[in-house]
Amino acid sequence: MDQLLQTVNLQRHYHMGNSVVRALDGVSLEMAEGEFVALLGTSGSGKSTLLNLVGGMDRPTEGALLFRGRNLAQFTSGEMAAHRRSSVGMVFQSFNLIPRKTALENVMLPMIFAEKPPGERRRRAQELLERVGLAGRAAHRPAELSGGEQQRVAIARALANQPELLLADELTGNLDSRTAAEILALLRGLHRETGKSMLMVTHDERIAAVAQRRLYLSDGKIVSEAAAT
Ligand SMILES: Nc1ncnc2c1ncn2[C@@H]1O[C@H](COP(=O)(O)OP(=O)(O)O)[C@@H](O)[C@H]1O
Ligand SMILES: [Mg+2]
């Protein structure tokens, strides 16, 4: 299979006064196109730091981060913006929807930034809402949706510009266990249907079980790896 992502000795250090926090301390990993990978680790192990680097929200201190063979560490700020807009889609624990916009408008927003034609935006946003099971909620604002429904909108929004990689950071962290299971089933279904590459961060082994492969992060280093059983 073709390689989607590779990191080589990836480092991200934060300088705090006189001390240095090595949030990532030499991470080397690979991910193939179409894979569903979970990144596991306790709080503070560096999971979000790594995900934010892959998502183009932040830059490494040292090391290489290859996305389809191109090193993000050397991207211009314009190339980084394009990467965030079109190559990846991100989903967070806190949903991060725009409160004043409807579900449909929230899903259309990334397509406005990508300058997609208006008719196509609406059609695709409707299709995506349907796919995540929210066809009947298109006109609702986030406050008029349950947590699980808000996360479904966020997933639809993350997929709007057909990214090559879906990134999820503790996406079930604010949901009860039954709703969390529904959201994970949705991701698994999307992965089966579309073969979309997915990289999911979680501290919870049960949530990571949805992925094909698990990587364990501890103190900014990958310490072990396991395939799905
Ligand atoms: N902006 C920041 N400034 C300073 N330290 C940070 C910053 N972001 C994260 N850290 C530190 O880096 C380490 C890894 O954090 P993070 O990647 O958020 O961990 P996780 O997502 O696994 O809980 C932690 O020790 C955290 O305190
Ligand atoms: Mg985190």
Q: Is residue 222 part of a domain?
A: yes
How crowded is residue 85: how many other Cβ atoms within 10 Å of its Cβ? 18
Q: Which two structure tokens, joined as six digits, stand for 201? A: 């961060």
Q: Is residue 52 part of a domain?
A: no
What atom of ligand 1 comes closest to residue 43's alpha carbon? 23
On whether the CB atoms of residues 37 and 215 are closer than 8 A, the answer is: yes
Given the DSSP bridges, would you call strands 19-32 and 70-71 parallel, antiparallel or unpaired?
Answer: unpaired
pTM exceeds 0.85 for this model: yes
- CA of residue 47 to ligand 1 center, whole Å: 8
Spacing of C-alpha 130 from chain mean position: 21
Residue 194, domain CATH: 3.40.50.300
Helix (H) or strand (E) holding 112: helix 103-113
Q: Is residue 166 part of a domain?
A: yes
Give percent of the chain with pLDDT exceeding 70.
100
The Cα–Cα gap between 200 and 51 comes to: 8
49 lines ligand 1 (CB under 6 A): yes
Q: Is residue 64 part of a domain?
A: no
Closest by CA position to 94, among listed 150, 132, 48, 135: 150
The Cα–Cα gap between 229 and 116 comes to: 41
What are the pLDDT digits (tens) for 147-190? 999 999 999 999 999 999 999 999 999 999 999 999 999 999 99
Query: What one-letter code names the amino acid at 3?
Result: Q
- CA of residue 46 to ligand 2 center, whole Å: 7
How crowded is residue 1: how many other Cβ atoms within 10 Å of its Cβ? 8
- CA of residue 153 to ligand 2 center, whole Å: 21
What is the rounded average pLDDT of the residues 93-100?
97
The number of distinct structural domains making up the chain is 1
Q: Is residue 127 part of a domain?
A: yes
Q: Is residue 21 part of a domain?
A: no
What are the pLDDT digits (tens) for 12-62? 999 999 999 999 999 999 999 999 999 999 999 999 999 999 999 999 999
Q: Is residue 104 part of a domain?
A: yes
Q: Which of 10, 13, 14, 90 to mutate to test the pocket of ligand 1 (most atoms within 8 A of CB)?
A: 14
Domain with 104, as residue range(s), is: 38-45+77-227
The radius of gyration computed from the CA coordinates of the chain, to the nearest angstrom, equals 17
Q: Is residue 28 part of a domain?
A: no
- CA of residue 169 to ligand 2 center, whole Å: 7
46 lines ligand 1 (CB under 6 A): yes
Q: What is the mean pLDDT of the chain?
A: 97
How crowded is residue 133: how many other Cβ atoms within 10 Å of its Cβ? 14
